[in-house]
Amino acid sequence: RRVHGEKHNELMLNIWFQSFFTFDLFSLVVCAFLFFTTFVVFFYLKSLYRMAATNEQNGSFDGSTDAAEALKERANSFFKTGDNEKAIEFYTKAIDLNPTAVAYYSNRSIAYLKIELFGAALNDANKAVELDNSFVKGYYRRAAANMSLGKFRLALRDFELVKKRRPNDKDAQMKYTECNKVVKRQAFEKAIATDDTSKSLLDTLDIESINIDADYISAKLEKDGKITLEFVNQILKEFKDEKRLHKKYVFQILRQIRDMFKTLDSLVSINVPNDSKFTVCGDIHGQFYDLLNIFELNGLPSEDNPYLFNGDFVDRGSFSVEVILILFSLKLLYPNHLYLARGNHETETMNQMYGFEGEVKAKYSSDMALLFTEIYNLLPLAHVINDRVFVTHGGLFSQDGVKLSDIRCLDRNRQPPESGIMCDLLWSDPMESLGRAPSKRGVGIQFGPDITRGFCELNGLDYVIRSHEVK
């Protein structure tokens, strides 16, 4: 029994030691794991706290949502002051930190619209709708971009959706109505269209029978309608006083300028004598007082002081009518010393979107607005100075091998197409990298210095002058 008891006790002791050892090892592993995890979490939270404190002190940001919101607010402040390019820069930074925030794309879209990068605006609006198909502003931005691109049916579809979801939104209702009118008008014009484009509204007007009230004391044309320097100086002064030229004289100016533009090629050659000054001006955009300032600094156009105004005379500014009437009058006065080229804003869609059409209707009539559209179709598309310098509003082409002779014989008497030589001349932009790329405007292309070099070499040119961008 004693022996048996001793062996039994020894066996129980071994079992107890083995159990204790096994349990103790398991506990140690668990405790070590918990300690390590707690250690890692503690230092991770501590590092986040330090980072947040540092960011709060120095204004730098990490990839947090709060940081993205702060960047968006900075972008909004730039947008409110009209600095759209800076706004785009900060909206882009916000998107980099939080690429799923639909409002950032919507906000950047309208900033792109402000600087006429319609393609980029459309892409952002599409992205906003893709991320959240219930985000109404995304559809509104997409409609605005499509409308700017002249895609009125696509725009109408989105405006209709916005109107249904926000029935009390007066702005949405107004945009829907405006777009719907354009779609219906286009359908009507297409239905009654004929191949005869020779008829002009000017030819149906009996301008001579238009009466001028006896109390009209502003500028007057000669009986034969001839433009004189005295008349130009007088309307410059009266437009400064915000007086309006009588519609009879406006019709006479438009008829004369129409007849003059009809005789010109799409590419006009200019000869400038050696050692002579020649001034090229970019976008005026209805800024009458800027035009006056140019004349004050650089002198009025004359036979000794020739000018080329390189498109975008109208839209945006409140005095587009005054600007274009001054330029047309000067062209009639100095046909060989003042030159006018068509810009992308001398088009029907842009005039509807950016104010010129509404301004003409308010100051004169709907018929007058149609006449301006007709005349803009006749504006030359480009100029070449002394066969060495090519001047156009937009830029170069989506294809190689374009010659000056191709431009000269273009049929320009129409609204610009969405692609091709005429479109590129009005819409394209240069870029620093080589080759070609799609344009953020959604129309035309971006072209590199190699494209410019190739065009110049092919046509024996020294360089290209263009406008279209404010830098």
Q: What is the pLDDT of residues 377-420, one digit of tens each?
A: 999 999 999 999 999 999 999 999 999 999 999 999 999 999 99
Residue 22 has pLDDT above 60, yes or no: no
Mean pLDDT taken over the chain: 88
Evaluate whether 433 touches 471 at the Cβ level (below 8 Å): no
Average pLDDT of the segment spanning 93-119 = 95
pLDDT band with cut points at 50, 70 and 90 for residue 47: low
Buried residues in 382-401 as b, exposed as e (16+ CB within 10 A): bbbbeeebbbbbbbbbbeee
Task: Give the percent of the chain with pLDDT over 90.
Answer: 74
Look at residue 65 in the predicted model and tell me its pLDDT.
85
* Cα(124)–Cα(142) distance, integer angstroms: 8
**140 closest CA partner among 120, 160, 162:** 162
Token pair 């002051």 in the structure block, residue = 81
Look at residue 63 in the predicted model and tell me its pLDDT.
53
Residue 21 has pLDDT above 50, yes or no: no
**DSSP classification of residue 310:** -
Evaluate whether 141 touches 163 at the Cβ level (below 8 Å): no
Name the residues annotated as catalytic. Answer: 345
Buried residues in 136-155 as b, exposed as e (16+ CB within 10 A): bbbbbbbbbbbbbbbbbebb
Question: Which residues partner with 268 through β-bridges?
Answer: 383
Q: What is the pTM (predicted TM-score) of this model? A: 0.80
* Cα(394)–Cα(419) distance, integer angstroms: 13
Average pLDDT of the segment spanning 137-149 = 94
Residue 10 has pLDDT above 60, yes or no: no
pLDDT band with cut points at 50, 70 and 90 for residue 98: very high
Look at residue 46 in the predicted model and tell me its pLDDT.
56
Computed over its alpha carbons, how large is the radius of gyration of the chain? 34
Look at residue 3 in the predicted model and tell me its pLDDT.
46
pLDDT in tens, 112-129: 999 989 999 999 999 999
Helix (H) or strand (E) holding 105: helix 102-114
Average pLDDT of the segment spanning 180-207 = 78
Which amino acid would we find at residue 152? F
pLDDT band with cut points at 50, 70 and 90 for residue 38: low
Evaluate whether 54 touches 60 at the Cβ level (below 8 Å): yes
Look at residue 383 in the predicted model and tell me its pLDDT.
98
Average pLDDT of the segment spanning 48-63 = 48
Q: Compute CA 411 distance to the chain's CA centroid, rounded to the nearest angstrom.
A: 26
Question: Which residues partner with 339 through β-bridges?
Answer: 308
**386 closest CA partner among 268, 271, 267, 265:** 271
Token pair 């030691």 in the structure block, residue = 17
pLDDT band with cut points at 50, 70 and 90 for residue 196: low
In angstroms, what CA-CA distances link 421 with 20, 160, 347, 392, 404? 90, 35, 16, 12, 11
**379 closest CA partner among 312, 468, 323:** 312
With H, G, I as helix, E, B as strand and everything else as coil, classify residue 338.
strand
pLDDT in tens, 287-308: 999 999 999 999 999 999 999 9
Residue 56 has pLDDT above 50, yes or no: no
Look at residue 61 in the predicted model and tell me its pLDDT.
47
Evaluate whether 270 touches 385 at the Cβ level (below 8 Å): yes
More confident residue, 2 or 446: 446
- Helix, strand, coil distribution of the chain in percent, nearest 5: 60, 5, 35
Average pLDDT of the segment spanning 247-263 = 96
Average pLDDT of the segment spanning 194-208 = 75
pLDDT band with cut points at 50, 70 and 90 for residue 224: confident
